[in-house]
């Protein structure tokens, strides 16, 4: 009885005991970012140059480039020629003789349909003619194709191609591909005064070793020639009165981070340079230039010839002496609102332009010329010392995050982000972090403990030969912040930039020295609770 009671008591004690979780706290620190940002990669790439130890903006960008084959475009063209026996029924064909009776005209002119472009002469960079001959006659024959206006290295085109025998029901045929690369083509026709017109002469010779046959009314010899993939390296004639216009949007999406504040730029020179390497006159108009920033504010560029037509002179010279004409629309602080335009920090720029070739008609007497090196382009050029003034300029950017912690296992109790910077740029920054939920609603704002100091508030660093300011910024994450981390889906980082003069304590333009950099190290320091 006592033994049974002991066993019952032991079972009761064991089943009534509950195992407690092991719980402990730990401190840990993890580096996240270790990086250095400089402007070195932008130097000597048509963006930045160096002058007396400081950076200058020297920007060149091609906005529009019209090449030769856009001005003189020869479409694929198919020519069909059909030859019958004329008025002589059952013309007898002897071996080695022409199959065509007297009176059949085998020389013809062919016109290229080029709208208002009137070409007198072209030299081809590439192109081909695909020739197909259908032979309904009961004999083998040879096609003699003569293109008297086609020459290469001074030799006219004249080739002979074999044609297999056939019948009316099933003609024999021959297909040939003629490479036109390097050919010069006279397009003045038989008279020598036409345009877009070339001449062909064909003959079909019966096989000398064949038999005699008749060319009857039921026979038709068909020759089909297809010009394709023609690219011109030189052209002379009248290139038409063509209007080239477009409205171009230039996307600078990186400036979508702008929120507010002001930027003050130094004296700026901006120009639109038109280089015309074609021997044809033109007229251009820069109808409008505008930009819109991230807040929707639109600034239009004014002055400097906006909306006014200007002449574009033809190029001069020839093959080895071709000299393009140059025209410029210059925008400076004296003749335009260029500083206000750029200080708007537009994320989208819209350029509306038009260029009209030969606006006054065929004034050259069909001596418009274009060469392999010819081009008509518009380039944007900007020049200024990289002196920038920032007055509480606010930039922001948003990052998507997925922060998940299980309070039954391991959770963060508190912590902070620690940002160490070495800054050789003359700009300071106050940084804050905003935590947002899935709908973009603000959950918490975490401000930095101090600003990132500008270089002018630091000390001279002999290793870099620059003033460098050291800063350590703490972002303290309170218990309330870390307890709701699972709800955070976006992190918005907002920075307030200034360019303060240490002597006046007023924001002024600051010149960026060559070699300027900012070194960034970001690490975490968290206290966590662990449960197992």
The pLDDT value recorded for residue 258 is 46
Same-domain status, 524 and 457: yes
Query: Is residue 363 domain-resident?
Result: yes
User: What tokens does 400 get?
Assistant: 């998507």
Query: Is residue 184 domain-resident?
Result: yes
The pLDDT value recorded for residue 236 is 95
* SS3 state at 138: coil
Mean pLDDT calculated for residue range 336-355: 84
Same-domain status, 326 and 407: no
Same-domain status, 286 and 214: no
* SS3 state at 68: helix
Answer yes or no: is pLDDT of 331 > 80: yes
Same-domain status, 359 and 495: no
CA distance 372 to 71: 12
The pLDDT value recorded for residue 334 is 85
Query: Is residue 55 domain-resident?
Result: no
Please name the residue that has the structure tokens 């966590």.
Answer: 528
| pLDDT single digits (tens) 364-381 | 999 999 999 888 888 878
The pLDDT value recorded for residue 312 is 92
Write phi, then psi, for 273 (nearest 5 degrees).
Answer: -100, 125
Cα angle vertex 271, ends 266, 275, to 5°? 155
CA distance 356 to 140: 55
Same-domain status, 90 and 143: yes
CB neighbours of residue 242 within 10 Å: 17
| pLDDT single digits (tens) 495-530 | 788 888 888 888 787 788 888 888 878 787 777 665
Answer yes or no: is pLDDT of 340 > 70: yes
CATH code for the domain of 221: 2.60.120
Cα 393 to chain centroid distance, Å, stands at 30
Query: Is residue 435 domain-resident?
Result: yes
| pLDDT single digits (tens) 443-483 | 888 888 988 898 899 999 898 898 999 999 898 888 888 77
Same-domain status, 229 and 127: yes
Among 220, 237, 254, the domain-final residue is 237
Mean pLDDT of the chain: 81
Please name the residue that has the structure tokens 């200007």.
Answer: 310
Answer yes or no: is pLDDT of 69 > 80: no
Nearest in space to 107 (alpha carbons), one of 189, 164, 172: 189
Query: Is residue 51 domain-resident?
Result: no
CA distance 193 to 187: 9
Mean pLDDT calculated for residue range 116-142: 90
Among 339, 374, 409, the domain-final residue is 374
CA distance 69 to 234: 10
The pLDDT value recorded for residue 492 is 79
Same-domain status, 98 and 218: yes
Nearest in space to 249 (alpha carbons), one of 357, 376, 356, 353: 353
* SS3 state at 72: coil
Answer yes or no: is pLDDT of 226 > 70: yes
Same-domain status, 293 and 249: yes
CA distance 241 to 360: 8
Same-domain status, 243 and 292: yes
Same-domain status, 176 and 187: yes
Burial 319-335 (b: 16+ CB within 10 A, else e): eeebebbebebbbebee
Same-domain status, 230 and 183: yes
Query: Is residue 16 domain-resident?
Result: no
Among 208, 237, 266, the domain-final residue is 237
DSSP β-bridge partners for residue 460: 467
| pLDDT single digits (tens) 233-246 | 999 999 988 888 88
Structure confidence at residue 382 as a pLDDT band (50, 70, 90): confident
| pLDDT single digits (tens) 401-438 | 776 666 666 666 777 888 888 888 888 888 888 888 88
Contact yes or no for 138/148 (Cβ under 8 A)? no
As for how many domains the chain has, the answer is: 3
Answer yes or no: is pLDDT of 15 > 70: no
Q: By 3-state DSSP, what share of the chain in percent is helix, strand and coil, each rounded to 5?
A: 10, 55, 35
Answer yes or no: is pLDDT of 58 > 80: no
- By residue range, what is the domain housing residue 265? 239-374
CA distance 404 to 15: 36
**8-state DSSP, 481:** H
**8-state DSSP, 14:** H
Query: Is residue 18 domain-resident?
Result: no
Same-domain status, 205 and 231: yes
Share of residues in the chain with pLDDT > 90 (%): 22
The pLDDT value recorded for residue 33 is 61
Query: Is residue 494 domain-resident?
Result: yes
């Amino acid at each position: 009885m006592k033994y049974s009671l002991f066993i019952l008591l032991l079972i009761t004690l064991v089943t009534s005991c509950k195992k407690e979780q092991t719980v402990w706290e730990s401190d840990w620190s993890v580096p996240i970012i270790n990086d250095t940002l400089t402007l070195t990669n932008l130097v000597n790439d048509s963006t930045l140059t160096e002058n007396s130890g400081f950076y200058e903006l020297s920007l060149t960008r091609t906005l529009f480039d019209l090449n030769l084959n856009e001005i003189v475009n020869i479409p694929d063209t198919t020519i069909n020629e059909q030859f019958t026996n004329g008025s002589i029924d059952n013309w007898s064909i002897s071996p080695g003789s022409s199959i065509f009776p007297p009176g059949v005209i085998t020389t013809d002119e062919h016109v290229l349909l080029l709208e208002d472009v009137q070409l007198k002469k072209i030299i081809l960079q590439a192109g081909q003619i695909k020739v197909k001959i259908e032979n309904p006659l009961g004999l083998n024959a040879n096609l003699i194709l003569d293109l008297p206006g086609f020459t290469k290295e001074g030799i006219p085109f004249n080739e002979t191609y074999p044609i297999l025998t056939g019948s009316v029901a099933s003609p024999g045929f021959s297909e040939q591909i003629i490479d036109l690369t390097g050919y010069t083509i006279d397009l003045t026709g038989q008279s020598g005064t036409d345009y877009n017109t070339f001449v062909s002469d064909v003959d079909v010779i019966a096989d000398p070793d064949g038999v005699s046959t008749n060319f009857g009314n039921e026979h038709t010899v068909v020759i089909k020639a297809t010009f394709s993939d023609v690219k011109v390296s030189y052209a002379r004639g009248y290139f038409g009165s063509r209007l080239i216009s477009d409205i171009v949007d230039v996307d600078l999406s990186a400036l979508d981070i702008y929120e507010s504040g002001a930027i003050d730029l130094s004296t700026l020179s901006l120009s639109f340079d038109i280089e015309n390497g074609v021997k044809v006159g033109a007229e251009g108009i820069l109808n409008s230039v505008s930009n819109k920033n991230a807040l929707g504010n639109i600034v239009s560029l004014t002055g400097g010839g906006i909306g006014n037509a200007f002449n574009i002179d033809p190029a001069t010279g020839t093959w080895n002496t071709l000299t393009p004409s140059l025209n410029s629309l210059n925008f400076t602080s004296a003749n335009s609102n260029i500083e206000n335009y750029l200080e708007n920090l537009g994320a989208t720029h819209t350029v509306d332009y038009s260029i009209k070739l030969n606006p006054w008609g065929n004034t050259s007497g069909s001596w418009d010329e274009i060469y392999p090196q010819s081009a008509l382009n518009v380039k944007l050029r900007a020049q200024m010392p990289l002196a920038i003034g920032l007055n509480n300029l606010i930039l922001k950017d948003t990052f998507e995050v997925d922060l998940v912690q299980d309070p039954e296992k391991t959770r963060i109790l508190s912590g902070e982000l620690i940002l160490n910077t070495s800054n050789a740029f003359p700009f300071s920054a106050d940084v804050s972090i905003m935590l947002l939920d899935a709908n973009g609603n603000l959950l918490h704002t975490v401000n930095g403990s101090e600003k990132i100091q500008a270089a002018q508030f630091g000390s001279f660093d002999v290793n870099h030969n620059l003033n460098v300011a050291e800063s350590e910024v703490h972002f303290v994450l309170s218990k309330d912040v870390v307890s709701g981390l699972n709800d955070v889906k976006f992190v918005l980082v907002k920075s307030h930039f200034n360019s303060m003069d240490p002597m006046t304590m007023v924001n002024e333009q600051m010149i960026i020295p060559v070699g300027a950099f900012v070194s960034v190290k970001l690490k975490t320091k968290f206290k966590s609770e662990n449960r197992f």
